[in-house]
Amino acid sequence: MADFYQNGIVTTLHNLSNRSLDELEQELATFALQRPMGLVLPSLFSELEGDALPNIITHLRQVNYLKKIVIGLDRADEAQYRYAKTFFSDLPQTHHVLWNDGPRLTAFDAKLKAKGLAPENAGKGRNVWYCFGYVLASNQAEAVALHDCDILTYDRQLLARLIYPVANPSFNYEFCKGYYARIAHGTMNGRVCRLLVTPLVRALKKTFGESDYLDYLDSYRYPLAGEFSFRRDVLNDLRIPSDWGLEIGVLSEMKRNYATNRLCQVDIANAYDHKHQDLSKDNDASGLSKMSIDISKAIFRKLATQGIILNSGTFRSIKATYYRVALDFVESYRNDAAINGLHLDIDKEERAIELFAENIIKAGNSFLDNPMETPFIPSWNRVSNAIPDVFEELKAIVEADNQEFAT
């Protein structure tokens, strides 16, 4: 059973009673009468052939409160898109698959690019951005959840708890972030969150002093969780990062646009496991190495917008402070693992910290070398102001694809 402690400046909704799933879903079905709900699933085609997504679909088939499911499909040719249509056809909810590599959406993307209004690079950020655009265009959901398609431990209680805070008409939350313990196969996972983000935030506090933004980030129990829920109106003004800084970037955007009493986090799972990225020690363009650089840059950019002066000397100081704080955390994790009968490889923990420390400097140098870099995709509000009929066009494209390749 979880504690009920409220840490930081964001409300935490705990799992205090293991409330029955049936009771939760009955209440959500009542909420749905007043506030229709949707789900966004950003997916690679390869995930259709894995172990996680088929199980997710099995669980979603039993969810009766969702009005709409939007699936973003990346890295799929025509045959694979046809297969995806069949794969998702068992879903009883109204659902549409965005074929991001299809000719219609590719041409649409090129049109937006010509006006400087499209994502520059393919990836999860681009996938999510187009899904959100279609959610706005279809106008069928007032509360929207998003979760990844590689969750090996998925059950539908995760979705129910994730969407509840923004679906409940008596709550005032505009955004909810899921959290969970990254424990699987007898060990602690979540290295980037445990060994980079939390120690880096604490090191930045030591370096620059107290900061409302750093206190805000430090309030989230799992800031890199890929599970969010939103009220629909949030999606209009949300700028989505296109790199691995997606989760931190979204948190930063919510802090910029809303008071913290409109934001919350919720315990959504007792156990959580998904596919794991390699550390990629010798390749900072992939794996956890690239992720650590992108995340560090996302935090540095946000601090710069608040008037914090960053230079090469500052980054050396941040690195040294981070390294000491992170090593202290390893001792805490080792003891936590021991009392719970879990295994923790201290050598791997410290090797990860060494890599992340190096990458903090790389992120700092990249930030200094590219001060005009704008990693955020334009908000849909900006796009619709520039192209007034953009939502009608996007809706027509998605529906044309789904009708032409109907199963």
* pLDDT higher than 90, residue 99: yes
Token representation of residue 370 = 């590219």
Write the pLDDT tens digit of every residue in 38-66: 999 999 999 999 999 999 999 999 999 99
What are the pLDDT digits (tens) for 123-137? 899 999 999 999 999
Residue 373 reports pLDDT greater than 90: no
Per-residue model confidence (pLDDT) at position 407? 59
* Mean pLDDT of all residues in 272-289: 74
Q: Is the Cβ–Cβ distance between 104 and 401 less than 8 Å?
A: yes
Q: Do the Cβ atoms of 253 and 238 come closer than 8 Å?
A: yes
Per-residue model confidence (pLDDT) at position 2:
59
Q: How large is the average pLDDT for residues 166-190?
A: 92
Contacts of residue 348, Cβ cutoff 8 Å, sequence gap at least 6: none
The answer to whether residue 1 scores a pLDDT higher than 60 is: no
Output the pTM of the full model: 0.94
Cα–Cα distance between 20 and 301 in angstroms, integer?
A: 43
Distance CA 255, CA 278 (A): 31
Supply the pLDDT for residue 371: 74
Helix ranges (H only) for 312-388 are: 312-339, 346-369, 380-386
Residues of the chain with pLDDT > 90: what percent?
82
**Is 80 exceeded by the pLDDT of residue 243?**
no
Mean pLDDT of the residues in the chain: 93
